[in-house]
Amino acid sequence: MYEIKKQGFFSAAHHLLNYNGVCENPHGHNWMVEAYVQGSELDGSNILIDFKVLKKELNIVLDYLDHNDINELPEFKGESPSSEMIAYFIYTRLKEKIVQLSRVTVWETPTSCASYYEDDI
């Protein structure tokens, strides 16, 4: 099995709903996102997927989030935009274009991240 990873970045504000603590207040992050692609077959150039293709599609999703208040986006109205939910959002959007997508990890700080992937079970 082969796996590649592409990183991307965006800056955005959010606040957590139904949360008792400082994160219930509006605040921002410089998010780092990792998109993983897995597969067992390489193409004629012996690559799983062109990094340029993955970068382009990832940046389309990240550009949508960049410099926004995530709570105000229609997809998050009434939802708590936690790192887990942001990872899920990016995964579902990116999966529409990158079929071999296996996981998305969202870092809100250098030491705190959340991932979303589909369980094969």
Looking at the 3D structure of the chain, how many domains does it have? Answer: 1
In a domain, 119, yes or no: no
- Residue range 46-80, pLDDT digits in tens: 999 999 999 999 999 999 999 999 999 999 999 99
| Spatial contact of 27 and 41, defined as CB atoms under 8 Å apart | no
The Cα 70–Cα 51 span in angstroms is: 27
What residues contact 47, with CB distance under 8 A and at least 6 apart? none
The Cα 97–Cα 112 span in angstroms is: 27
In a domain, 116, yes or no: no
Question: Given this model, what pLDDT does residue 119 score?
Answer: 84
In a domain, 3, yes or no: yes
The Cα 49–Cα 53 span in angstroms is: 7
Catalytic residue check, 67: yes
By CB neighbour count within 10 A (0-12 exposed, 13-18 middle, 19+ buried), where does 28 fall? middle
Catalytic residue check, 23: yes
In a domain, 1, yes or no: yes
Overall average pLDDT of the 71-100 stretch:
97
Which one of the listed residues 67, 75, 96, 118 is annotated catalytic? 67
Which one of the listed residues 14, 29, 57, 108 is annotated catalytic? 108
In a domain, 97, yes or no: yes
In a domain, 79, yes or no: yes
Which one of the listed residues 15, 23, 84, 113 is annotated catalytic? 23
Catalytic residue check, 24: no
Whole domain around residue 64: which residue ranges? 1-21+31-38+56-85+92-101
In a domain, 12, yes or no: yes
Q: Is the pTM of this model over 0.75?
A: yes
Residue 78 is part of a domain; what is its CATH number? 3.30.479.10
